[in-house]
Chains A and B, each alone.
Chain A
């Protein structure tokens, strides 16, 4: 049983939440939803004891977990899977990954082996025992992290945004796993499909509220995407071809990309989707000229992409990574946005207009690293827009954003499209495609298996969830 009474948390002057009262009974599946910055992750960290033992924060009120206070030390009965869980993995093999925390508990070797075998069997990873965890698929890696946490004897499982990097199949597997685990499970996530499967939900809004999960279908809660009927956007329009792919081949280890033909019209808005490992990002990187194909051509404006210099290609086609922190380096937003402009010898007015487009003109003197992730993404986008690229590829632009953040970035993308930019979005958020994007290219095993209007392609897609949960 977790008991929380009049709990408040602040980092310096910034209050995260206050007067939170909550009781979570053993064996319950409990969801936490709400906008970014409202304290979902912080609440999980408080339950484990990460706050205040590893991250300092001012705490008021009471919190006990099974009668113990996590304010004094990290609780061993509570296991946590961090968001971006791949960074949680340190073992060089699946077996070592599970064994390491058990060694820290000073369990004898025989007991460690017994637990490893048990949890590998439960999570279907027994044949992956000697494999390097970083070679596992996203879903497998997530199962490994869960197995590692449960092998430690955790009675309470905390999952922070477990679905953010999972494709529809991975999300369905996770929902199945949660049902299978006979423990108290607390999940902080934006995915309404996942939250709906919980027993109860804490919504961290202006006033924290606990509701039965099934009510989520009828309520519109801040930060959580509402359930709505599938809304197919208008049919795609085909115009003059701006991008064409012919016989593109690329081999990466065991993976082979084979794209015989793909055409994108000027001013089109398309999505490329498919399961993890289908080849979406590989294709996008070839289109943007980051990687070179083994054979085949990418034609931009009827010219071979290879014939462009690096700077000319950057002005034709741009690729926006899902992690803005891979790009940002300048001490001020303004310096960051005009970096590319100065590099290519363009007019600085382009940078000013780009900043205005993303709505960050008033923050031009801010330090970009101190902005929230959604704003950092906008800074990265403004840096790209300032180069006036004709085609922009967005790789998973909504990962880690709450619903208002997603709406904000998608509204901006639609506006850019209306202004004439050709937009390609790589995503496995099927709801996003259904809501916003008229044409979808579906990939599997390195090939395009379907290409056409969203309603036609997604209606027959096995990865689509008929209940609209994705």
Chain B
């Protein structure tokens, strides 16, 4: 799973500024359909991701598959005519860039900082905390899924044989135990959170506090500049 990287200049940004930068970069990828322009964004994403390459490596299969699939699927839908392959390539670059930007953000943002970041965007604390907590619980959900799968495998359930439909059917016995275990956990979590005073008062204080500084302003200026570059109708890029 994703490893949280405790150091680095992106990590040192104010959580809200970090989130705004992410949103600007994601929006930027939507501004063009030009393969060259999107290739530049993909290279930028890869360069920023260099310090977090271990996490990138974990997701290498997904990223490669996503790139190949997106490149090939569009010509199939649009028909094999001039420009359809370029469009597919552009979509692949866009998707992979977005995933990499997201991975960089998730690599440096523990759930508590995601919550603070969202609160800075005027998302109510309860909602922001729920989103941060959901991110925290994703690995837990995978663990439950694995345990349930193993419990059925030792009863002779062979999930890997048969065609796609047969294999899909074989997964049905996994759904209810995962659901029930998750529901029980969610119930206990609710008790635990209430016992920790969550939401008892309308406001809370901040132990983690990183004020906005020069690095935040520079990051904002740079990402906004990239955004504007792509927004201009007569972009310098082809």
By a beta-carbon cutoff of 8 Å, the part of chain A in contact with chain B is: 48, 50, 53-55, 74, 76, 79-80, 82, 84, 87-88, 90-93, 96, 99-109, 112-113, 116, 130, 132, 148, 152, 285, 288-290, 309-311, 314-315, 318-319, 321, 323, 325-330, 339-340, 343-344, 369, 383-384, 387
Contact = CB atoms under 8 A, between A and B. Distances in A.
A82 B191 contact: yes
Contacts of B209: 109
A100 B196 contact: yes
Nearest to B189: A87
A325 B196 contact: no
A96 B110 contact: yes
B165 interface: no
A343 B112 contact: no
B200 A104 contact: yes
B207 A103 contact: yes
Interface in B64-123: 110-112
Given A87-B189, A101-B196, A327-B177, A310 B205 contact: no
A321 B112 contact: no
Contacts of A107: 205
A99 B147 contact: no
Interface of B: 4, 6, 110-112, 133, 136, 144, 147-148, 150-158, 173-177, 180-181, 184-185, 188-201, 203-209
Contact of B189 (A80, A90, A99, A289): A90
A92 B156 contact: no
A162 B182 CA distance: 22
25 contacts: A48-B195, A55-B191, A79-B195, A87-B192, A88-B189, A92-B112, A96-B110, A99-B208, A100-B112, A104-B198, A105-B205, A116-B207, A148-B196, A152-B196, A152-B197, A310-B156, A319-B154, A321-B147, A321-B150, A325-B177, A326-B181, A329-B175, A329-B176, A330-B173, A369-B180
A47 B230 CA distance: 61
Contacts of B112: 91-92, 96, 100
Most buried by A among B136, B184, B205: B205
A329 B136 contact: no
Nearest to B161: A310
A104 B195 contact: no
A325 B144 CA distance: 10
Given A84-B188, A152-B196, A325-B180, 6 more contacts: A48-B195, A80-B195, A96-B207, A148-B196, A321-B147, A328-B180
Given A92-B136, A326-B148, A106 B191 contact: no
A53 B199 CA distance: 14
Most buried by A among B152, B197, B198, B206: B197
Most buried by A among B111, B155, B184, B191: B155
Given A82-B192, A339-B173, A344-B156, A92 B200 contact: no
Nearest to B186: A87
A307 B178 CA distance: 30
Contacts of A112: 205, 207
A326 B201 CA distance: 37
Contact of A113 (B4, B173, B176, B207): B207
A50 B192 CA distance: 10
A380 to B, nearest CB: 8
Contacts of A369: 180
A64 B185 CA distance: 30
B156 A311 contact: yes
Most buried by A among B192, B195, B209: B195
